[in-house]
Chain A
Amino acid sequence: MNRLSGLLQLITGDAQADRVVPPTGFTARLTLFASAAMAFLTVFALALSLATGRLAENWSSALAHSSTIRVSAPEGQVEAQVLAVMDVLETTPGIADARVLTDDEQRRLLEPWFGPDLPLDTLPVPRLIEVTETAEGYDAAGLRARLAGEAPGAVLDDHTRWREPLVRAADRLRMLGLVSILLIAATTAVMITLAASAALAANAQVIRVLRLVGARDAYIARAFVRRYTLRALTGAAVGTALGMVAILLLPKADATGTFLTGLGFQGPGWLWPLTIPPLAAVVAFAATRRAAFATLRERS
Chain B
Amino acid sequence: MIEFEDVTYGYGGAPLLADVSLRLAPGSFHFLTGPSGAGKTTLLKLCYGELIASQGRVTLFGQDARTMTRDDVAMMRRRIGVVHQDQQFLDHLSVVENLSLPLTVSGRTTPQGDLEELIRWVGLENQAQAHPPELSGGERQRAALARAIVMSPEVILADEPTGNVDWEMSLRLLKLMVELNKMGKTIMIATHDLNLIRSAKQQVQARVLRISNHRLQLAGADL
**Judging by beta carbons under 8 Å apart, are B70 and A20 in contact?**
no
**Judging by beta carbons under 8 Å apart, are B82 and A219 in contact?**
no
Minimum Cβ distance to chain B for residue A183 (Å): 35
Chain B residues within an 8 Å CB radius of A20: 90, 93, 101, 104-105
**Judging by beta carbons under 8 Å apart, are B92 and A209 in contact?**
no
**Judging by beta carbons under 8 Å apart, are B70 and A214 in contact?**
no
**Judging by beta carbons under 8 Å apart, are B90 and A206 in contact?**
yes
Q: In the complex, A19→B93 CA distance in Å?
A: 8
The contact of B90 among A22, A216, A297, by CB within 8 Å, is A22
Minimum Cβ distance to chain A for residue B151 (Å): 7
Q: In the complex, A208→B85 CA distance in Å?
A: 14
**Judging by beta carbons under 8 Å apart, are B105 and A219 in contact?**
yes
Label chain B's interface by main secondary structure: helix
Given contacts A19-B97, A22-B90, A209-B88, contact A216 B104 (CB under 8 A): no
The contact of A214 among B78, B88, B97, by CB within 8 Å, is B78
Does B138 count as interface, using CB distance less than 8 angstroms?
no
Does B218 count as interface, using CB distance less than 8 angstroms?
no
Chain B residues within an 8 Å CB radius of A206: 90
Given contacts A20-B101, A209-B101, contact A214 B90 (CB under 8 A): no
Given contacts A19-B93, A22-B92, A217-B74, contact A210 B82 (CB under 8 A): no
**Judging by beta carbons under 8 Å apart, are B89 and A216 in contact?**
no
Given contacts A19-B93, A19-B97, A300-B70, contact A215 B88 (CB under 8 A): no
Total residue contacts A-B, CB cutoff 8 A: 60
Chain A residues at the B interface, C-beta cutoff of 8 Å: 16-17, 19-20, 22-23, 205-206, 208-219, 296-297, 300
Residue of A nearest to B109 (CB): A16
Q: In the complex, A211→B78 CA distance in Å?
A: 10
Of A16, A23, A211, A214, the most chain B CB neighbours within 10 A belong to: A214
Does B135 count as interface, using CB distance less than 8 angstroms?
no
Does B161 count as interface, using CB distance less than 8 angstroms?
no
Chain A residues within an 8 Å CB radius of B77: 211-214
Chain B residues within an 8 Å CB radius of A23: 92
Minimum Cβ distance to chain B for residue A66 (Å): 69
Chain B residues within an 8 Å CB radius of A16: 97, 104
- Between-chain CB contacts (< 8 Å), 8 pairs: A22-B92, A205-B90, A211-B74, A212-B88, A213-B105, A214-B78, A218-B71, A219-B105
Chain A residues within an 8 Å CB radius of B70: 216-217, 296-297, 300
Minimum Cβ distance to chain A for residue B32 (Å): 19
Chain B residues within an 8 Å CB radius of A300: 70
The contact of B84 among A210, A212, A296, by CB within 8 Å, is A212
**Judging by beta carbons under 8 Å apart, are B93 and A214 in contact?**
no
- Please report the total number of B residues contacting A with Cβ < 8 Å: 22
Q: In the complex, A214→B79 CA distance in Å?
A: 9
Q: In the complex, A16→B104 CA distance in Å?
A: 7
The contact of A212 among B76, B82, B97, B151, by CB within 8 Å, is B82
Residue-by-residue, is B124-151 near A (CB-CB < 8 Å gives 1, otherwise 0)? 0000000000000000000000010001
Residue of A nearest to B89 (CB): A209
Of A16, A206, A209, A296, the most chain B CB neighbours within 10 A belong to: A209
Q: In the complex, A208→B82 CA distance in Å?
A: 13
**Judging by beta carbons under 8 Å apart, are B105 and A214 in contact?**
yes
Does B223 count as interface, using CB distance less than 8 angstroms?
no
Residue-by-residue, is B100-133 near A (CB-CB < 8 Å gives 1, otherwise 0)? 0110111000000000000000000000000000
Q: In the complex, A211→B88 CA distance in Å?
A: 11
Residue of B nearest to A16 (CB): B104
**Judging by beta carbons under 8 Å apart, are A214 and B75 in contact?**
yes
Q: In the complex, A270→B84 CA distance in Å?
A: 58
Q: In the complex, A92→B78 CA distance in Å?
A: 88
**Judging by beta carbons under 8 Å apart, are B71 and A215 in contact?**
no
Residue of B nearest to A9 (CB): B107
Chain A residues within an 8 Å CB radius of B97: 16, 19
**Judging by beta carbons under 8 Å apart, are B105 and A210 in contact?**
yes
Q: In the complex, A209→B50 CA distance in Å?
A: 12
Residue of B nearest to A217 (CB): B70
**Judging by beta carbons under 8 Å apart, are A17 and B104 in contact?**
yes
Given contacts A19-B97, A20-B101, A300-B70, contact A214 B89 (CB under 8 A): no
Residue of B nearest to A296 (CB): B70
Q: In the complex, A216→B69 CA distance in Å?
A: 10
**Judging by beta carbons under 8 Å apart, are A215 and B93 in contact?**
no
The contact of B102 among A17, A208, A214, A216, by CB within 8 Å, is A214
Q: A211-B77, A216-B74, A217-B71 are in contact. List 13 more A-B contacts (CB 8 A).
A: A16-B97, A19-B97, A20-B90, A23-B92, A205-B88, A209-B88, A211-B74, A212-B84, A213-B101, A214-B75, A216-B71, A216-B105, A217-B70
